[in-house]
Amino acid sequence: MQKTPHLYRAGSLTYTKLGLFLLFFWLLWGDFCFFMTESTTNIIPLKMKDLHCSEFLMGLILASIPRTFGAICNPIISFRSDRCRSRWGRRIPFILGSMPFLVISFIGIGYSFDIGRFIQPRLGHYIHNAGILSFLTEEMVILIVLSFFLICYDFFNTFVSSVFWYLFNDVVPEELLARFMSCFRMVIMGTSIVYNEFVFPHADIYFKEIFVGAGILYLFGFGLMCVMVKEGEYPAPPENDDGKKGFLAAAKTYARECLSLPHYWYLFLVAITGSFAGACTMFNVIFQRNVMGLTLTDIGNLAVTGAIACAIFVPISGWLADKFHPIRVVLWGMILNVITQPIGLIWLFWHASPTQFFYFTLFQTILVSCPIGMLLQMQDPPLLMRIFPRERYGQFCSARAMLGLVTGILTGGLGGAFISFLKHFLGERTAYCLIPVWVLFFNALALVFMVLLYRSWKRYGGDAHYVPPLPAHLQHNAGQCQAVETGS
């Protein structure tokens, strides 16, 4: 008797082992193309500096504007994507629709110097006769052109970065999500190594070629993934509250569905308190290590070691998350994080030499920070995929991201103020050595909210019967629909 092959299911999609392998291949290929092309944008600050761009303007263009696009557009895009129905699915149309504009943006960035040099002399006649715009030097025109295409890129990339992650939840079988995300992160690490080894060192000489190549890779590489990966069929999209249409009805529906239940607020508060805990990370990673006597080379070596160690632990944490559920893996990671955080206070009592500090930190990174960090990485997105309603996954993720963005605006300033206060009264070295106190406080709060989430998850069914809760009127409608389908 012929053995029936094991089938893997994701919604209406069914895969054999070969089909699953091809799915993983194309998604990871898309991952490589997406992050390889995204990585090229870290060249732009160097070019802006060459054009004598001020730090304020650089921060505005490179940080403030993209975050503004994200805060405004991400919830709208996510909400619409959840409700989109097309022959291509509900995620891929947003990627394909923005693709031509992103390719043009990449090529425009690459040719920005040529375009600027072409435009500036031709402005000469108008400038001379009108007596205005005389301050527009060649460098300034190039900077304007470069900034224009970069802002275009940031805007259209918001469509892709919003929905790309949601695609995995729609097409990857639930029992393999964590392992897939482990592979996903390993590809990102590998992409970073390839980019930094073979592309970034040539940024000064081959700026144009790099961005034109990025546009071509995005079009044919990432585009190929969109063609080869098929989305399944989805149930009819849910209506807005009270059946009304329009922006206000959509906003009311979004807020009521995402922000009205304590169950999801526990998860949002885990992210918010975690953001506060990480507010002092840059001071710890760079400035404290520098004060303790490490050179930038030493700090870089620690970072490389950490990346290698994380690459080893990523598949292990993914396997654990699939076997025991991401909520347990994240909870274990948070408990271990709180327990081990006081280790950092050792420097208040041990005035180690730079060499002793380096090797202690090296072993701490390998044996403590990386294993725990990879357990915590299972929160986003494996845990989110198992907690949020699948049919409304995008909008719930966007609500979490929006709250995190608002929190991020506050945390940087508060973390810096905390360090400045300690430096004023206790000195620089002691201030940096007390960073674990800040981190421990907010990590302990995050652990409290995680325990509350775990208990709520158990109340809603736990391992075997968990059903993502929705507001009462939606649960009632879902029950009615189920009754109709079963004929009861």
Cβ(138)–Cβ(116) below 8 Å: yes
> Which range is least confidently modeled, 109-123, 128-142, 200-214, 454-468?
128-142
Please choose, from the candidates 31, 81, 65, the residue with its C-alpha nearest in 3D space to the C-alpha of residue 234: 81
Mean pLDDT value across residues 347-360: 91
Q: What homologous superfamily is domain 21-237 in, according to CATH?
A: MFS general substrate transporter like domains (1.20.1250.20)
Q: Which two tokens stand for residue 210?
A: 């790099």
Mean pLDDT value across residues 24-39: 94
Please choose, from the candidates 462, 320, 470, the residue with its C-alpha nearest in 3D space to the C-alpha of residue 393: 470
Residue the block writes with tokens 């291949």: 25
User: Which is more confident, 304 or 95?
Assistant: 95
> Cis omega (within 30 of 0) on the bond before 381?
yes
Mean pLDDT value across residues 232-247: 82
Mean pLDDT value across residues 70-85: 90
Mean pLDDT value across residues 432-459: 94
Task: For residue 432, name the pLDDT band (cuts at 50, 70, 90).
Answer: confident
Give the C-alpha distances (Å, rounded to integers) separating 416 from 280, 438, 446: 7, 11, 21
Task: For residue 299, name the pLDDT band (cuts at 50, 70, 90).
Answer: confident
Share of the chain above pLDDT 90, in %: 45
Write down the pTM of the prediction: 0.79
Would you say residue 350 has pLDDT above 60? Answer: yes
CATH of 262-469, one of 3.40.50.2000, 1.20.1250.20, 3.30.465.10, 3.40.640.10: 1.20.1250.20
Task: For residue 481, name the pLDDT band (cuts at 50, 70, 90).
Answer: very low
> Which range is least confidently modeled, 9-23, 41-55, 289-303?
289-303
pLDDT for 36-76, tens place per residue? 999 898 889 888 888 988 877 887 888 778 878 888 898 99
pLDDT score for 126: 61
Cβ(433)–Cβ(345) below 8 Å: yes
Residues of the chain within CATH 1.20.1250.20 domain(s) are 21-237, 262-469
Kindly compute the dihedral angle of the four CA atoms of residues 319, 305, 190, 443, in this order, to the nearest 10 degrees.
50
pLDDT score for 278: 81
Task: For residue 125, name the pLDDT band (cuts at 50, 70, 90).
Answer: low
Q: Which two tokens stand for residue 177?
A: 């999500």
Cβ(301)–Cβ(434) below 8 Å: no
